[in-house]
Amino acid sequence: MRTPTLHTVTTLALLACATDRTLGQALSMPLLDLTPAAVSIQPPLESPADAAPVKRTEFASEGTWWWSAGAGVGSDFDAVTDGTLFGTIGYFVVEGVEVQGELGLWYFSQDEGDAVGISPILNFRWHFLRRESWTLYADVGIGFLASTDDVPDGGSSFNFSPRAGVGWTGAIDDAGTRLLIGVRWQHFSNARIFGDDENPALDEPMLYAGVIFPF
């Protein structure tokens, strides 16, 4: 039997030391974590840019409701000058054609005595020319006026009030708000229900403006 040489012993010693070092490093490493990772099932948050845009009500479209408020001034360029504050509620029965209910408060400056009045009106308005941001319309209406004194002087404190005119509406923001400007012929008469002598009647042009809002 051969006796191991010094070289062989040295080699075996080095291999043993290397094996011990490798085994120590392996034992010092953390164990592999086989636990399943948590999975989030929450949907991603929507950014403001991804949010659906707010749908704007299209003006003059069938089945939509709108309301307005405004003021007007009229004169017969003789003995009467008057002003009104009004509010309306309108519904489009078909595209472009609107039926309105209006309530107006009136002040009449007259030579023989001023008067204050209230006037409910039924109005029909046709937006005959419609573009994306503006419309042109024609309208007619009929109602009555109850006042604190005769309108005009020498007439009566109850009058019928037919009218007809034209106007323009234009969009002023993205929410559907619109500006309203119009001119009309305005008539006040008691239709001679108090006799021919008490029906001087009043005819005048009126300029008015207002703001329209969607419901």
Give the pLDDT confidence score for residue 87 in this predicted structure: 98
Residue with more model confidence, 96 or 48: 96
Taking only the tens place, the pLDDT of each residue in 44-58 is 666 655 555 556 789
Say how many C-beta atoms besides its own lie within 10 A of residue 16's C-beta.
10
Question: CA-CA distance, 136 to 182, in Å (whole number)?
Answer: 10
Give the least confident one: 14-18, 73-77, 118-122. Answer: 14-18
Strands 80-94 and 97-110: antiparallel
Q: Does the pLDDT at position 158 exceed 70?
A: yes
Quote the pLDDT of residue 57: 82
Which residue has better confidence, 36 or 66? 66
Q: How far apart are CA 140 and CA 123, in angstroms?
A: 6
Cα–Cα separations (whole angstroms), residue 77 to 92, 109, 203: 36, 12, 10
Is residue 61's pLDDT more than 60? yes
Domains and CATH numbers, the chain: 65-214 (2.40.160.20)
Whose CA is closest to 147, among 118, 120, 112? 118
Q: Tokens representing 195? A: 């006799």
Give 180-210 pLDDT, tens digit per residue: 999 999 999 999 998 888 889 999 999 999 9
Please tell me whether residue 153 adopts helix, strand or coil conformation: coil
pLDDT of 143 over the 70 cut: yes
What is the per-residue pLDDT across 19-44, written as a single tens digit (0 to 9) for each?
A: 556 545 555 555 555 555 555 566 66
Query: Which 8-state DSSP code applies to residue 198?
Result: G
**Residue 126, helix vs strand vs coil:** strand
Q: For the chain, how many residues are written? A: 215
**pLDDT at 206 (0 to 100):** 98
pLDDT of residue 150 exceeding 60, the answer is yes
Give yes or no for residue 64 having a pLDDT over 90: yes
